[in-house]
Amino acid sequence: MTGFPTLRMRRLRRTPGLRRLVAEARLDHSQLIWPLFFKSEGNATPVSAMPGVMQHPVKDAGNLARRAADLGLGGVLLFGLPAGKDEKGSGAYHEKGVIQETVRAMKRAATDLVVITDVCLCEYTSHGHCGIVRNGTVDNDATLELLARTAVSQAAAGADVVAPSDMMDGRVGAIRRALDQKGFPDTVILSYAAKYASAFYGPFRVAAESAPQFGDRRGYQMDPANGDEAMKEIALDLGEGADLVMVKPALPCLDIIRRAKERFGGPIAAYQVSGEYTMIKLAAQAGALDGDRAMREALLAIRRAGADIIMTYAAPDLKLET
């Protein structure tokens, strides 16, 4: 290969037009998913732990759906704050639950908007764990039936995609069978296939009021030390019928995203979680960095690693270019 001075790498960096022309990774609204928190009543309230993020009342669901559709976003991902919690998380699969009502309102307001629902029990259980607790631990097999019920009730309300985030073994298969049996063979399953027990979920648990009341989630979510295990998790979920798989968190798992993309092909989703988002927002508020540029750079890195779809709280107000 010829070298300097015949070859000058800086030639293609000279102008914004040339830089744009040769950019490998791009950010496009159509591949961003906007996570949203809904409660049954009251007015929108800011989440103290996450700058710019709100808990929204169901009555605002229609407006938010239209906003997401007008922005051309890839979709919305819904989390619910139920009016009451119990041991079995029954608010998660209630026909008139907060998420079921939100989905109906959103689909009425914006038929074409892709509506994705989180399938998990932690926001709905009094103990804050992602399943049924027996003898101080989450009972995998007893939880499957409730997750399947939750997914079916969300599909019945009109969700296009159900996204199990609980990390129980066998849940994708259980959800697929239940959806097919109840007449929802076309509902998509996006599984949080490689979900780590991450400290970066901290702000989310404030937003969703879902922190575990005892212990932690390391008995079901993955150990950040492991990479091969993530490949196994993804292979199992695809085998059980997952249509889409996700890696979470994103920035601490760029290697996992890349390996997943190379091994399984696309589409791969990655979740820029609450802590990743909040780190950048708070650093920007403190004047330590340019928030818009840092957010774009982080998201571009996630795309470059191989993510086709990105869940990000920055979706609605991301500045795509400077």
Q: Closer to ligand PBG at the Cβ: 110 or 246?
A: 246
Q: Are strands 45-46 and 309-311 parallel, antiparallel or unpaired?
A: unpaired
Binders of ligand PBG among 254-283, rule CB under 6 A? 273-274
Is residue 59 among the annotated active site residues? no
Burial level of 169, CB count in 10 A (0-12/13-18/19+)? Answer: middle
Q: How many residues bind ligand PBG (CB under 6 A)?
A: 11
How many whole angstroms separate alpha carbon 90 and alpha carbon 39? 15
Q: Closer to ligand PBG at the Cβ: 234 or 246?
A: 246
Interacting residue with ligand PBG among 101, 118, 233, 240 (CB under 6 A): 118
User: Is 196 among the residues that bind ligand PBG (CB under 6 A)?
Assistant: no
Give the relative orientation of helices 98-109 and 61-70 as an angle to the nearest 10 degrees. Answer: 50
User: Is 27 among the residues that bind ligand PBG (CB under 6 A)?
Assistant: no
* Region for residue 247 given its phi and psi (left: phi exceeds 0; alpha: psi -120 to 50; beta: otherwise): beta
How many whole angstroms separate alpha carbon 196 and alpha carbon 251? 12
Those residues with Cβ within 8 angstroms of residue 186's Cβ, 6 or more apart along the chain or in another chain: none
Classified as helix, coil or strand, 131 is: coil
User: Is 117 among the residues that bind ligand PBG (CB under 6 A)?
Assistant: no
Is residue 195 among the annotated active site residues? yes
* Minimum CB–partner distance for residue 191 and ligand PBG (Å): 12
Q: Using the rule CB under 6 A, give the single segment among 7-15, 86-94, 116-124, 297-305 that binds ligand PBG.
A: 116-124
**φ and ψ at 263, to 5 degrees?**
-80, -40
Q: Using the rule CB under 6 A, give the single segment among 118-126, 143-151, 226-234, 250-258 that binds ligand PBG.
A: 118-126
* Minimum CB–partner distance for residue 201 and ligand PBG (Å): 4
Yes or no: say if 10 and 4 are a contact pair by the CB < 8 Å rule. no
Binding mask 220-259 for ligand PBG (x = CB under 6 A): ----------------------------------------
The residues assigned a catalytic role are 195, 248
Give the residues lining the site for ligand PBG (CB under 6 A).
118, 120, 122, 130, 165, 201, 204-205, 217, 273-274
